[in-house]
Structure 1
Amino acid sequence: MNGASGTMPVVPDALPAPPEVPAGPVLLRPWRPGDAPAVRVALTDPATDLFSNPGRVATDEDAAEWVARRAGRSATTAAWAVVDAATGELVGSVALHAVDPVQGDAAVGYWTVPAARGRGVAPRAVDAAVRWAFATLSVDRVELVHAAENPASGRVAEKAGFTLEGRLRRSHRYSDGVRRDELLWARLSDDGVPDLSTRS
C-alpha cells in the first residue's frame, strides 16, 4: 500500500522503457538488433555460458532472438546493454526482472564480457540499474542471487551495496544440468550509496 492513503500501487501493462543511464565509464542503453553478434560471442564464453546463459545462446539466430526479447517492453523486466561510454563497445548486460510493484520487490542479474571483468563494470552497471528501479518503479527491495561457487559475483554484489542474507541450498539448475547452492543478497532503497571508486 502507498503510505497513509492505503491504496495499492497500480500494476502497469509494461514497465517504463529503459532509458540511457550513465554510470561513469560505462553507459546503460536499450538493446539494439546490431548487438546480436557481440552477444553471441559473449554468451559462448565458458563462465558466462555456465552462470548466465539459461537460454543456451549458441548461434546468430539465438542471439538475435535473445536481443529482441530484451529490447521489447515487459510488465516485469527492464533490460539494458552495458557499453563502454567512450567507444560504444558492448561490455555486458544488466536487467531488472521479477519486478513486482505491489510488493515493491525486484531482482537484478548481469554478465560482463571477459575483457571487462575486474574493471568495475559490473558493480557500476548493477548500481545504476538498481538506482533507476528505486527512483522510477515502486520498488523498495532488489535481490541478487548467484552460484555459491562464483565468488566474483559476491564481490560485485557487495561492491554494489548489497547485503548477504543467506544460502539457498541446491536452488537452481545451471546450464550444465547441475543444481547448485546459491547466495542471496539484497539492497533496500534506504541502504545508502555504495563506494564505487575502486575496481572489482
Structure 2
Amino acid sequence: MSTSTSVPSVAAQNPADRRTFVRATLDLGDVLLRPWSREADELDAMLDGLIAAAADPLISRWNPFPAADRTEAMAWLEKREGSWHRGAAATFAVLGAADGALLGAVALSWVDREDGLAMIGYWTLPAARGRSVATRATRAVTSWAFETADARRIEIAHATGNEASCRVADRCGYLPEGTLRDSHRYGDGAYHDEHLHARLAADPEPADIAA
C-alpha cells in the first residue's frame, strides 16, 4: 500500500506541534481520504452520503449520528471540521477517487494528548463493504498518525457483536487486549461489552491484505 500526503515528517515539525493533527489528504489510488470540510469539492456527495449512512441499519446501530437531512448532515460535518481546527481529532471522509462518492469515514481522536494515546473508529456504506476499504483506510490513518503526529498508542474499541469491526482491527495489526464490560451505549439504546484492540508505534506493520 502506498500513501501520499503533503504533511511534513515528525522530525521537521516543532516539538510543541508534534501531537497536533494537521489536515492532509491521503491518496490510496482508487480511494481518497479527505478531511471533512464545507469547502470540499465533493460536498454534495459528502452530504448525500452522510444521510444514507445515518439511515443504514448497521451504521445506525454501531456508529449512530444525526443526519436525517442536509441541515443535520451539515451540522455534523461542521463539528468534524472544527476538530481539525483544534488539532484534537483527525476526521476523514473516505471517497471514491473516480467519482467522489462517499464510501465511509475514519475518525482518530486524542484520548490523552500529552501521553500520545489516541482512539480510532471507522464505518463504511454498503457499496464499500467487502472491498477492504475500511481496512485500507484505517491502516493509512494509523500510519499517518504514528509518522506525523507522534502518536504512541492507538486503540480500537468495538461492540463484541460487531464482528466486521473486529476483522478490520485484526487486519490492521491492532492486537486484542481484552473485553470491556458494559462499556458503551450503542444505537439500540443498550450497553454492550466491547473488545479492546491496540497498536503501538513500535509494533511491526501488519501483513499485506490478501487479494
* 1:114-138 alpha-carbon deviations (Å, 9 max, x no partner): 1111100001111111111101112
CA distance in 2, matches of 1:169, 1:183: 9
Identify the match of residue 58 of structure 1 among 59, 68, 74.
68
Tell me, yes or no, if structure 1 residue 36 matches structure 2 residue 47: yes
Task: Return the offset for 1:11.
Answer: 6.9
Which amino acid letter does the alignment assign opposite residue 93 of structure 2?
A: A
Number of matched pairs: 189
For residues 44-67 of structure 1, give each alpha carbon's deviation from its aligned partner in whole angstroms, at most 9, with x where no partner exists. 1010011111x3332221111111
Alpha-carbon separation, structure 2, partners of 1:122 and 1:16: 20
Q: Deviations over 1:59-104 (max 9, x none)?
A: 2211111111112222421111111223222101001112533111
* Counterpart in the other structure of 2:88: 76
CA separation of 1:181 and 1:18: change in aligned 2, threshold 3 A: same
Amino acid at match of 1:151: E
| Inter-partner Cα distance in structure 2 for 1:102 and 1:183 | 25
Kept in 1, the 8 Å contact 2:22–2:87? The answer is no
Rounded Cα–Cα distance in structure 1 between residues aligned with 2:88 and 2:26: 19
Q: TM-score, normalised by structure 1?
A: 0.87
Q: Which residue of 2 aligns with 1:10?
A: 16
The question of whether the paired residues in 2 share the 8 Å contact of 1:120 and 1:198 is answered with no
Q: Does 1:126 align with 2:138?
A: yes
Distance 1:24 1:164, change over 3 A: farther
In 2, the alpha carbon distance for the partners of 1:21 and 1:107 equals 19
Aligned CA-pair RMSD: 1.9
Which letter does structure 2 place at the counterpart of 1:32? S
Q: Is 2:108 the partner of 1:103?
A: no
In 1, Cα distance between the equivalents of 2:97 and 2:199?
26
Contact 1:170 1:182 in 2 (8 A): yes
- Is residue 2:52 matched to residue 1:46? no
CA offset at residue 106 of structure 1?
A: 0.3
Q: Distance in 1 between matches of 2:171 and 2:74?
A: 32
Unaligned runs of 5+ in 1: 1-8
2:8 alignment partner in structure 1: none
